[in-house]
Structure formats: structure tokens, C-alpha cells
A and B are shown apart, each in its own frame.
Chain A
């Protein structure tokens, strides 16, 4: 059933992790990640960070950050045609370190964006120096976000925090992670911010939520992400394929928007390579 969609074989997954040792990838881990992705028609996966490092320390020190990013660089080298790396950072670190790591990972290393988790809240003014550096580079940021009825992390951002960041830095492209965590309230928070998109990952594939996001944001601001291996590629793809939106909108969400956002080609939302 998954292979019945026109985008099959060209899909870009904007939100993946691995759980592996640091900093040297186990080739078997990466091959399993790619084999399962390929079976679902996913051509490229955006590796946001080795989750082992994030779980070890949400406010990772500089050495751990370096290891996480070194892992991503090695993973990209292992499968350059399939793995797109994002640079994992903690905005609380020194500007010197942030600059060096962006230089190492993006300018020289070929990563295509920045991933921020929950070390610093998106409203925190410590974000500003990093945001200015990212703006100069012209790459997007995938930022964790969730509205939780359960206790949340001390500095964890919710969608209103992401909206605040998006307003302060209108020239920076933000991708708010976890539509399933943002839900209706979170979509409304960012609805008037053209520089903020949402990825479709997070929680169970709640019926109607993709349609809601498309209605409020437009399909061009919704991008497929799975959060694999916490989630299942097939299930998270299923929520896009099941949504009552047009095939054209599905194609934008499954690959065209991601290609545009991470600079793989300006093709107006289609999936051509």
C-alpha cells in the first residue's frame, strides 16, 4: 500500500535519529536504518543526532556535542546519497565553540541545518548569538517542541516559545518538530509566521491532524518526519498517505518541501531529483 503513492522512492524524512555508540557509527545500525527507510520509499533521511548522546545529557557538554556531530559526519560519509546531517548544538555554549562547530559541520562538513533540543528554551536570549550565526549561514533549524499535560523539561520549548523565536528572527527558517506534540494549539501559535514550518512527527498518528495543519498553515509549511527509531517509518508515513488532502499536497509534504527547506533543489514543491 505504501508503494502506491507517486512519491514512493523519493521521500525525504526530515526527522530521524539513531541510537548507537559514539562517535564511531556501527555500520549495521546505519544499514538497518536505511534498509527500513528504503522499504518505505524513503530516499533520504535527515539525521538530527545520535540519540544516545542526547539521552546521556540533554545539556551536553562541548566534548559530547563534538562526538554527536562527528558521528553524524561519519554517517553521512557512510551513505552520502541517503543520509543528510544536521548539526546538533547547545545554544548555552560559548560563541567560539558554536562558531567552530558550525564551521566544522556545515561550512566544511556539508551538513544542511541545525538541530536544537531542550538545553535552552527558545525564548531565552542566549539563543540570539547562535540565531545570528545560523541566519548568516542561511540554513534551517529543527527545534524540538511539545505541549505536554505531563511534566516537561525545565527548558523544554513549547510551540508558543517557537513562535516567539520565529518572530524575533524572521529571516531564519524554523522547522518546529512534532506536529503530534503541537496539536491544534501549537499550529495556531505559528499560523501567521511564514518562516516556521512543522514536521509531522510525534505521538500516535491522530486522525485529522495532518488535514488540520494543512488547512491552517498551507501544505508548503508541513514536512514529513518520522522520529525513527522511536517511531515506525511506515506508521508515520501512513498518516500523510491517509490524510484527506490532494496528491499534490502529499507530494509537497513527503519530499518537495524538505528539498526546498534544506536546499536540495528549488523545484516548487515537487520531488524531482
Chain B
């Protein structure tokens, strides 16, 4: 079977809508059935809990002995404990990447704490993921409207840290022109959509900086997978193949 790495998956409960595939077991069953061979998974509750560790640790414990899951720790670099906790995720659970959610955690990508997180990622030789949005802003709860992280700020951050590998998660097609400006910045395509999604993503980002992401369990996996199956037209099959797995491996391993 062809390798398929899903670089953007969450696990857990989200207060604004029911998520059917919210446990590692349900998620794995669903993603395996769709042909996914590895997922980079984060605890969705870590976006809203006061201390992300209280969501990260139980998830990482639950998936500890399962190679299907690659743990990605949601980290809030404004918290006093973040370095210590990030080290703990690495040492105890073999965490492979950090993920920032600046808009939900109340800081800007331009803040110094993000440079500290980038420095940590460089030292650990791991990617630093930045979540632009979790859901369509038009569908947010009226009492909790969270603007997206500006794509241009992520590109600027990446250019400021050329020896760190970055992954932008939850980008829209309209974000790609900004994100393409940093050569050390990859994009996962879960929320990228256009007339020919994969063609437009590859034309913007180049053939090596586009990785597959499903944003499961928020979206139908089969719908996001369809981006790799139809309308690929002008993109060479080997490029589509690289989007399925090789680009993600390069992002992860450097």
C-alpha cells in the first residue's frame, strides 16, 4: 500500500460541536480505513485548557505504544512551564513536533515567546507547527470569535529562523501566497481548497513544501483525500506521491 502521512489530526472533545471520532481507537479505525498510514496527532482540548499538559499527557499516554500516532504537543509559550513541559513530552513520549495556537492562546506570532519556541524546535531538531485556524471563522460561536493567525506573520517568523522547519496548519488557499515566501515553511492542505486544490497548492508552494492533512475528526477524511485523487491534472504523479508522504518525512526529519 502507498504511504499516506496525515500531518494534521486532532483527538479529543471540542466544546462547539460533536466530534464522532474523538478517541484514539475510533480515530485510528477511521483513518486506517481511509488508507492513512501515519498521523501527526494533537490533543484538541489543549487548545482551550488553561494548562495544555492536562490534555497532552493523557493523549500521549494513550497512544504511547502505537507507531501509527506521532505525538505533536500543543504548547503555549506564554506559560512559565512551557520549556520544562516540552522537554517532558520529548523525553517521556518521544514527541516529534510542537504546535502553537497563538490566536487561542492570546499572543502574536511576532511576540518574543514565539522566537523562544522556534529556538527550542531548532535545538530539538523538530518542526514547529503553527495553527492558523481550527474552524471557519464564519461558524464560530457568537461569544467566542477567534480571528485567524496572519499568514504573513508566519512567513516572517520562518524567515527570521531559517534553520527551523515550520508547518502552517489550517491555511486557506488565500494564505498560500504569503506562506510561500519562506523556503523553510511547509503547508498542510486540509483547509486549502480551490477549483483544483492540489494544482493551486503546488503552484504556490512548490512541489516539496505541500503535505497532506485531513483536519480529522473535524472534516470528512474522504473529502480531504479527494484532493489527491481528482483534478490533479497538471501536477506530475510523483509530486502527488510526494504530497502523500515524502514531503512530510522531509519536514519531520530535515
Contacts and interface: CB of A to CB of B under 8 A. Distances in A.
Interface string A171-214: 00000000011010000000000000000000111111000000
Contact of A232 (B19, B137, B219, B227): B227
A229 interface: yes
Contacts of B193: 204, 231-232, 235
Interface string B191-205: 101111100000000
Interface string B117-136: 00000000000000000011
A235 B137 contact: no
A12 interface: no
Contacts of B137: 149-150
B229 A234 contact: yes
Given A40-B230, A146-B138, A241 B191 contact: no
Pick the most buried of B20, B145, B193: most chain A CB atoms within 10 A of its CB: B193
A32 B18 CA distance: 38
Interface string B82-99: 000000000000000000
B13 to A, nearest CB: 14
User: Which DSSP category, helix, strand, loop or mixed, fits chain B's interface?
Assistant: loop
Contact of A238 (B145, B194, B218, B220): B220
Nearest to A146: B138
Given A149-B142, A231-B193, A207 B218 contact: yes
Contact of B225 (A1, A39, A149, A236): A1
A165 interface: no
A80 to B, nearest CB: 23
A2 interface: yes
A130 B195 CA distance: 33
Contacts of B224: 205, 235, 238
Interface residues on B, range: 35 or more
Contacts of B17: 206, 208
Interface in A4-55: 32, 36, 39-40
A228 B195 contact: yes
A1 B138 contact: no
Nearest to A149: B140
Interface string A218-253: 000000000011111111111101110000000000
B222 interface: yes
Pick the most buried of B135, B145, B226: most chain A CB atoms within 10 A of its CB: B226
B80 interface: no
A148 interface: yes
Contact of A206 (B219, B227, B229, B230): B219
Nearest to A19: B195
A150 B135 CA distance: 13
Contact of A229 (B139, B194, B217, B220): B194
A181 B219 CA distance: 15
Contact of A234 (B18, B21, B217, B227): B227
Given A2-B230, A205-B219, A239-B222, 15 more contacts: A32-B195, A36-B196, A148-B138, A150-B145, A203-B138, A206-B17, A206-B218, A208-B17, A208-B18, A232-B195, A234-B230, A235-B227, A236-B223, A241-B222, A242-B221
